[in-house]
Amino acid sequence: MSLFGTNAGFGTGGTSVFGSTTTDTHNPMKDVEVTSPPDDSISCLAFSPPTLPGNFLIGGSWANDVRCWEVQDNGQTVPKAQQMHTGPVLDVCWSDDGSKVFTASCDKTAKMWDLNSNQAMQIAQHDGPIKSIHWIKAPNYSCIMTASWDKTLKFWDTRSPNPMMSLQMPERAYCADVVYPMAVIATAERGLLVYQLENQPSEFRRIDSPLKHQHRCVAIFKDKQNKPTGFALGSIEGRVAIHYINPPNPAKDNFTFKCHRSNGTNTATPQDIYAVNAIAFHPVHGTLATVGSDGRFSFWDKDARTKLKTSEQLDQPITACCFNNNGNICAYSSSYDWSKGHEYYNPQKKNYIFLRNAAEELKPRNKKW
């Protein structure tokens, strides 16, 4: 039974572990397909926090909708509910208690979706599309942080229509991540801003970009004491930078690595360089996953500085990825990311979300703990 209206409800089903025929490369890794995927490119994915029993996946898409699935332990996915915006959805996040989902859209608004009542109400307004939304849970306050293409960073108490705070940025926000008490925003023109969130949000530092190309995605990582200590930044030209905020030895501790490129050893043909679309850190192991425009995902160990695994190539770019709260599941979406413009867009092409068992493959090279 499909709750999602027009889509083919029964579809390819979450139980098709045996997957597709050999000629079809839409799922070469034979991962679990989520039922009733969105009708257009998936822009963001988020799993529920540990406070909620079970696993619920939220996905926002360019079809203006946000969908919620329950992921059961046997791998089956059950579509649960859906909400709409009046423009493409660019980012989603959960509240810390798992009762609300926040969605940010090109229609310049952000909404709070109460899952229990299945009601959504607008909680934020910008002058431009909101590219990123995060929930901040501080000891003395809780709020929503929205970063937009209108060059502002705003903080919202969901009960009030006016922002608690509005900070001006030098350029449009392209991606952001929050792990209390640190927030990182990567902007246009290779800008990099770090904010500290204790007491109230304030700008902490502006960092010279370790990358030479446009910033595309960012993810904060934590140290062994579970405190945020740095971030991974991905660019539009196949490179990720690992950057620590206060390293003992910056020249040695910070580094960049190439990824999502083709023809690695073959120097006769030019190397194709693809955009890094998303980065996610494993909540337990601290290793990271990157997904790219080339239709592959890769797992990396940043401490051992090695690659753990690279997938087979999917027939479409991979646009988003995320881990569930205990790190057993990695979800990634396969859809056109617009990296080559509108000419390569095929509205008929199906979009997919895959679930993969991430417990084993992301174990770090040398177990330190």
Partner 1 sequence: MAEAEAEWELCKENIQPLRGGRAMSALKEALTLQEEGGSAITQRQQAFETELRMYDGDDPLDVWDRYIKWTEQTFPQGGKESHFSVLLESAVKKFTEENKYYNDARYIDLWIKFADHCQEPLDIYRYMQAQGIGLMSSAFYIAWSEEYEKRGNFRNADSTFQEGLNCGAKPQDRLKQFHKALQARVTRQVMSGMGQESGVVDAMEMDMEEPNRKTLVELKALGKEKAVAPISRGSSITTHQPRRLQMKAPMAPLRNSRLMVFDENKKVAEPQDPKLESWMGPPSARAKENEQKPVKWTKAKLPKKTHAGLPVVIPAPAKPTFQPFVEECEQPPAVTPCKINPSMNSVLSARKPHREETPLKRVQDWQAQHQAAGAQAPGADSKPREQSMYCKELLFNGATEFCIEELRAMRYHQKHAQRLVASSSSSNSSPGDESAGASAASESCRAGPSSSGSSH
Residues that bind partner 1 (CB under 8 A): 43, 62, 87-88, 90, 106, 108, 127-129, 131, 149-150, 172, 174, 188-189, 214, 216, 236-237, 249-252, 254, 267, 270-275, 293-294, 337-342
Q: How far is the CB of 191 from partner 1 (least distance, A)?
A: 11
Q: How far is the CB of 337 from partner 1 (least distance, A)?
A: 7
Q: Do 357 and 43 form a contact (C-beta atoms < 8 A)?
A: no
Nearer residue to partner 1 within complex by CB, 121 or 251: 251
Nearer residue to partner 1 within complex by CB, 174 or 323: 174
Judged by DSSP in three states, 34 sits in: coil
Nearer residue to partner 1 within complex by CB, 189 or 223: 189
Q: How far is the CB of 38 from partner 1 (least distance, A)?
A: 15
Q: How far is the CB of 243 from partner 1 (least distance, A)?
A: 11
Neighbours of 360 (CB within 10 A): 7
CA-to-CA separations, 302 to 126, 242, 249, 285, 326, in angstroms, rounded? 36, 8, 16, 11, 20
Q: Do 355 and 75 form a contact (C-beta atoms < 8 A)?
A: yes
Q: Do 201 and 159 form a contact (C-beta atoms < 8 A)?
A: no
Conformational region of residue 330, where left means phi above 0, alpha means psi within -120 to 50, and beta covers everything else: beta
Rounded CA gap, 336 and 121, in Å?
Answer: 29
Nearer residue to partner 1 within complex by CB, 163 or 286: 163
Peptide bond into 181 cis (omega under 30): yes
Nearer residue to partner 1 within complex by CB, 161 or 250: 250
Could you give the strand order of the β-sheet that contains 276-281, starting from the edge strand earlier in sequence?
276-281, 288-292, 297-301, 306-310
Q: How far is the CB of 325 from partner 1 (least distance, A)?
A: 27
Nearer residue to partner 1 within complex by CB, 43 or 287: 43
Nearer residue to partner 1 within complex by CB, 149 or 156: 149
Q: How far is the CB of 350 from partner 1 (least distance, A)?
A: 18
Q: How far is the CB of 165 from partner 1 (least distance, A)?
A: 20
CA neighbor of 365 nearest in space, from 325, 318, 306, 316: 306
